[in-house]
Structure 1
């Protein structure tokens, strides 16, 4: 069982329980906390600032923290950061400058080097100091010469792309000294940018030259709009090639989340509050694993589910092979297509049935080939059982998904309800009604986790572990439905603040118990820093 202080922390956050709140605690909640109501009241009467000892201070973990590297699963807290587009550019520039100072190479070269190492500065440093030449060759750049060269003014050059002759002042080259006219360079760069993020790996115009295009050349030649697009691809590379940064999956959010631990189950965007899995970038799906979710989505979309239903619920007409569904109790079947009459049980012609088979509506015929038919029937029963299992879990998964969508709409109306309460003078300030917002957010979080408990449960083998899981699942569902009923069906002027706060705490506790029960006690939380 979890430490008693941890249970209290979940129940009351960072505040002390008041006498009124203690009185509102249910016997079930007191049992979970491991104390009696009298003990809580006695501690309150003694004048203690906190009825229980203060929560242990949590160390902030950095990407190089030994604790993170040695045992990432059992650490108490992982901090992640939400970054907007400007902050992403700033982080990228700071990283490039840092690497430039350490390696002693131009800033432009460092950007290319980091991209070739998926923005992992530690690995780049190690490889660079171990074998500088190999790193440079891998990146296809010349770190000792990162300038744009102009031809000699007054001297004529022939551009080997357009075959026109130009004055040297109109001819440009990189460190490889392959000169081309500015118009051909410009067209080459704009075409590369229009082709997408492949522009970051575009190389020199000279056939066979692998020198990568440097950013300075792009900035010098392309129009501002094209350079803006190029810059976006640079930022996208910083996010998409970097295992410690992921885009928020919410459409048009435009934020990214940095997390030092790449195997975290869930992070939350600080802009739109979307929770998502840092490993697969799908909606947060605790307690289901990424593999479970992938298999579940395939099962949802797989047309074989239709085939399973047909196998479980239909048989083929023995004459024309048309699929027939049995929609009644009678075994006398007539094919709607060819009008053939047959027995549903043995699939033989109906005319062969009579008093000698036990009556027209009772087939007790036995033939050696019946064993083969029995095997086919067993396959149908197995398919039917598999379908029933899937539909059991899918129906409940879909129900929680639908409820969560409805409750997200409820969140949009929450501020209106909070405003109504303050205008009714039931509470004096906005702070006094923030409990409603917290309750709705908790409700949505519980719904999301409950939805994916049915994905997890579908793949969980029968046994003691599944029995415990289903108990915790049912416990969370019960209090979630109670909180949903209060928030959705109670008029604003009849909101009971203490009841909502108490039910919210109860939901938080049960969600914590479910997650810890599934993960074996590991606890990963996240803190917004920006």
Structure 2
């Protein structure tokens, strides 16, 4: 893609100076569009979606909704897998899930009329005060209540088996409803609903704090979705939206930023061991005369020898002489001494740390800007409200809101662009193209931020709208380039 003149077009920006914008080829015919369909479900909609799915399975398999719910939980709400296995061998599927009843109107428990002994408390109990599944294991209602209550409070609702030892029969929802207290049954239903989201590969909770919504989509890999609360996140790893970096890069970056190994990396690059006691000593300026705070040993930073005999505080004759000898020796023998190896390793660590800090600083800069987005949103809304009260309608000032939202999207992409760029090999063709796209997006985003600060923003409406579209184009180009390759494979 690089190297052809027609890969570059001039993007008009009102009366401003034309900006060059790198444009990738459009989505080829037959390729899927990067935009995907997803739905945001409120807690009430989650329950309705769950009930609808249960009823569809019950109608299709001609079983009770209670058994359909148990089957779906057993197969982690994977309806296609359940369909396939059920029609291949219905009896085996029901047995595996601990179910017996197959018709909607079939009794799920035995009718007990005569008294019998409870297998838990060993008390003789009248028939109406007992309950037994099709496995014929009889328990009194009090023991049932205690057993089910404990299971529900512990969150074990995916499958509750008969209390009998080694019995694989599953307790139907209707039995749970009839044998536990109302508040416990409501908790049971909440756990079942939670399993509908957490065990379902096509649904996930919104990770935003205090948000109870869920997102459902058929696209499972690399999909960025947005909840109704406004939070944008990756459907695959549940982190905030991190394009253009992939999930693995974000995982490694987060580990790198929080790992103690970075502290060790800094120590190795910026400190030396005291030659007497071994404590870490940092030299952040000044002369080469070092005095250890712990053992009071005085030594030279350059040659690591005792300070006695040194006359120059800013140059070490011993070190320079040793370096000359080593240079001459290196010509004869290319094998490095242990000291040279340590120095080479220290220099390598220092360069690696400096490189990391460059990207980390920019990452933190955009992270801080995004954390300030609620305040910026309030500021924009206040400006829109003031303009409406003076001379405009809501439709005429809506472009301000669109521009602010575009700034946040671009800042998010730029934040993680430094994560992606960190893992690209320096001085490669891919790095050069990516940095160009990155700088172009930064420049346009900054211009858009500056124009929103204008006191006569209404007179620059067309310019703002055009700049918002330009930012959208550059953001999409950067992401598209990463997803489809910044350079052509030779």
What TM-score bracket applies, with the shorter chain setting the length?
0.7 to 0.9
Cα deviation for residue 281 of structure 1 reads 1.1
Q: Pairwise CA RMSD of aligned residues?
A: 3.0
**How has the CA–CA distance of structure 1 residues 209 and 495 changed in structure 2, closer, same or farther, with 3 Å as cutoff?**
farther
Is the counterpart of residue 281 in structure 1 residue 238 in structure 2?
yes
In structure 2, the residue corresponding to 1:82 is in which secondary structure?
strand
Alignment match, 2:383: 417
Please state if 1:315 is matched with 2:272: yes
- Aligned partner of residue 293 in structure 2, secondary structure: coil
Q: CA deviation at 1:342?
A: 1.5
Cα drift, residue 158 of structure 1: 1.8
1:46 maps to which residue? none
User: Is 1:136 matched with 2:94?
Assistant: yes
The SS at the match of 1:342 is: strand
Q: 1:291, 1:210 → 2: CA distance?
A: 40
1:492 to partner: Cα distance: 7.0
Q: CA 1:454–1:94 in structure 2 vs 1: closer, same or farther (change >3 Å)?
A: same
Measured after TM superposition, the shift of residue 409 of structure 1 is: 1.9
Quote the offset at 1:127 in angstroms.
1.2
> 25, 28, 42: which is aligned to 2:19?
28
Q: 1:284 to 1:112 in 2, by over 3 A?
A: same
Residues 135-154 of structure 1, C-alpha deviation per residue, up to 9 Å, x if partnerless? Answer: 2232222243763436534x
Q: Does residue 471 of structure 1 match 2:436?
A: yes
1:461 corresponds to 2:425 = yes
Cα gap change, 1:495 to 1:364, in 2 (>3 Å): farther
Aligned to 2:37, what secondary structure does the other structure show? strand
Q: 1:480 aligns with which of 416, 440, 445?
A: 445
Q: Distance in 1 between matches of 2:93 and 2:244?
A: 42
What whole-Å deviation, never above 9, does each CA across 1:397-439 have from its counterpart, x for those lacking one?
A: 00001011113321133322211001111x2x11111111101
Corresponding residue of 1:167: 126
Alignment of 1:382-397 (within 5 A): 382-397=348-363
1:311 deviates by: 0.6
- Aligned with residue 379 of structure 1, among 320, 337, 345: 345
- Does 2:224 correspond to 1:258? no
The two structures have a TM-score, normalised by structure 1, of 0.81
Asked if the contact 1:353–1:363 (Cα under 8 Å) also holds between the matched residues in 2, the reply is no
Maintained 8 Å contact 1:420/1:492:
no
Distance 1:32 1:308 in 2: 38
Confirm or deny: 8 A CA contact 2:38 2:225 kept in the other structure: yes
Report the counterpart of residue 107 of structure 2 in structure 1: 147
Distance 1:26 1:109, change over 3 A: farther
Aligned partners of 2:338 and 2:310: how far apart in 1? 20
Greater shift, 302-311 or 112-121, is seen at 112-121
In the other structure, the counterpart of 1:526 is none
- 1:406-445 matched pairs, under 5 angstroms: 406-425=372-391, 427=392, 429-445=393-409
Residue of structure 2 equivalent to 1:220: 178
Contact conserved, 2:149 with 2:184, CA < 8 A, in 1?
Answer: yes
Partner of 1:50: none
Partner of 1:176: 135
Map 1:91-110; keep pairs closer than 5 Å. Answer: 91-110=49-68
Q: 2:283 aligns with which of 298, 302, 326?
A: 326
CA distance in 1, matches of 2:110, 2:85: 33
Instruction: State the distance in 2 between where 1:466 and 1:143 align.
Output: 63
Counterpart CA distance in 2 for 1:211 and 1:316 is 67
- Counterpart secondary structure, 1:502: helix
Aligned residue in 2 for 1:18: none
Shift of 1:447: 0.6
The total of aligned residue pairs comes to 464
* 2:36/2:223 contact within 8 Å kept: no
Provide the residue aligned with 2:5 in structure 1. none
With 113-122 and 456-465 compared, the bigger mean Cα shift is at 113-122
Q: How far apart are the structure 2 equivalents of 1:23 and 1:394?
A: 35
Structure 1 residues 440, 23: closer, same or farther in 2, change over 3 A? Answer: closer
- Other structure's SS at 1:81 match: strand
SS at match of 1:422: helix
C-alpha change, 1:308 and 1:204, in structure 2 (3 Å) is same
Q: Is contact 1:244–1:259 with CA below 8 Å preserved after alignment?
A: yes
Alignment of structure 1 residues 36-115 onto 2, 5 Å: 74-75=32-33, 77-115=35-73
Distance 1:326 1:199, change over 3 A: same
Moved more, 401-410 or 388-397: 401-410
User: Per-residue deviation at 1:234?
Assistant: 1.3
For the structure 1 residues 280 and 490, does the alpha-carbon distance in structure 2 shift closer, same or farther, using more than 3 Å as the test? same
How far has the Cα of 1:264 moved from its partner?
A: 3.5
Query: What are the superposed Cα offsets for residues 486-529 of structure 1, whole Å, 9 maximum, x if unpaired?
Result: 33x4447777323322221221111111111111179xxxxxxx
C-alpha separation between the residues in 1 aligned to 2:190 and 2:350?
52
What is the deviation of 1:299? 0.8
User: Which one is further off, 134-143 or 374-383?
Assistant: 134-143
- Residues 392 and 215 of structure 1: is their aligned pair in 2 closer, same or farther, counting only changes over 3 Å? same
Distance 2:131 2:102 in 1: 18
